[in-house]
């Protein structure tokens, strides 16, 4: 699968992956400030401008990432991501650790999660695109189902005009996401099919939101089991969207870590 991507900056390659319902464009502003890095921002399958497929799971998304590295002749790269993107980055480093020189994970642990935001997909599917004439109109129609305004505005970034027509379309494969929604919340496997331990021995940075429950104190042991060189830092007074709530603090933590791992 050939993933759509953006590329910004110069320096050592860093692949950064967006979260669920997002796209690489979400990271254009902050990614441009990653120090000394050529930042690649792919859209995951069924997101943004990347191809759609009936299946979606973390191992499949990680395979897409590994294929992306092969396609673009990238090796010994830094990789990072937020939320689902962080989980995909973790899975890829555990699968082929020699292809990565460092890992950055924002507010995600390798454990299982109860599915979050499960009502979002049905709400977006229920929107009658045949009658929508603007994003503001769509926002009004979805406010009752998704009352949190910043979240709704984020989701509506994936609602775009259909080229050459007056219609609108989602840049999300909502059908596939609904069908396989539970897949993306499963834990990462700590062993191979041959019962050998999986781990990524390279440097790793885990940033957690201080007001988020995605990375709990009891998750640290599992993080260190799979990523023995992991540094875990907390961004105070930040939730799951820590990079949106505390962008300067997140950027400072990432750039400081990058400077210590040239």
pLDDT tens column, 51-96: 999 999 999 999 999 999 999 999 999 999 999 999 999 999 999 9
166 and 198 belong to one structural domain: no
Indicate the residue among 161, 179, 197 that finishes a domain: 179
119 is written with which tokens? Answer: 């009502």
In angstroms, how far is the first alpha carbon of the chain from the final one?
31
- Is pLDDT at 36 greater than 90 in this prediction? yes
Q: How far is CA 240 from CA 55, 108, 109, 154, 232, in A?
A: 26, 9, 12, 14, 15
**Nearest Cα to 104, choosing from 244, 237, 233?**
233
pLDDT (mean) for 13-41: 97
Residues marked active site are found at 83, 240
159 and 233 belong to one structural domain: no
**SS3 call for 17:** strand
Which CATH number does the domain housing residue 218 bear?
3.40.50.1820
pLDDT (mean) for 195-214: 95
Residues 95-152 have pLDDT tens digits of 999 999 999 999 999 999 999 888 999 999 999 998 898 999 999 999 999 999 999 9
Which residue stretches of 109-232 are H helix? 120-126, 135-142, 149-156, 174-179, 220-226
pLDDT value of position 232: 98
**Average pLDDT over all residues of the chain:** 95
56 with 34: CB under 8 angstroms?
Answer: no
20 and 84 belong to one structural domain: yes
* H or E segment and range at residue 47: none
Q: What is the span of the domain harbouring residue 95? A: 5-112+186-260
200 and 144 belong to one structural domain: no
The rounded percent of the chain whose pLDDT value lies above 70 is 100
171 and 198 belong to one structural domain: no
Hunting for tokens 């790269």 — which residue is that?
A: 77
- Is pLDDT at 45 greater than 90 in this prediction? yes
Residues 164-190 have pLDDT tens digits of 777 899 999 999 999 999 999 999 998
């Amino acid at each position: 699968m050939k993933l759509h991507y953006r590329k910004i900056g110069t320096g050592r390659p860093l692949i950064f992956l967006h979260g669920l319902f997002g796209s690489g464009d979400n990271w254009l502003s902050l990614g441009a400030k990653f120090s000394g890095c050529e930042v690649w921002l792919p859209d995951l399958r069924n997101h943004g401008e990347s191809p759609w497929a009936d299946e979606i799971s973390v191992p499949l998304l990680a395979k897409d990432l590994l294929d992306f590295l092969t396609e673009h002749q990238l090796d010994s790269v830094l990789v990072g991501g937020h939320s689902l993107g962080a989980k995909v980055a973790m899975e890829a480093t555990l699968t082929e650790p020699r292809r990565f020189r460092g890992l950055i994970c924002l507010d995600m642990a390798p454990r299982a999660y109860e599915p979050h935001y499960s009502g979002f997909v049905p709400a977006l599917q229920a929107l009658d695109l045949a009658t929508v004439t603007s994003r503001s109109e769509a926002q009004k129609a979805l406010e009752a189902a998704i009352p949190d305004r910043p979240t709704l505005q984020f989701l509506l970034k994936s609602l775009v005009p259909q080229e050459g027509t007056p219609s609108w379309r989602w840049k999300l494969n909502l059908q596939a996401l609904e069908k396989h929604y539970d897949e993306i919340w499963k834990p990462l496997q700590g062993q191979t099919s041959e019962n050998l331990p999986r781990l990524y021995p390279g440097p790793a940075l885990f940033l957690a939101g201080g007001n988020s429950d995605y990375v709990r104190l009891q998750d640290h042991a599992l993080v260190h089991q799979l990523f023995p060189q992991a540094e875990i830092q907390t961004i105070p007074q930040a939730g799951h969207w820590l990079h949106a709530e505390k962008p300067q603090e997140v950027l400072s933590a990432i750039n400081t870590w990058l400077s210590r791992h040239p």
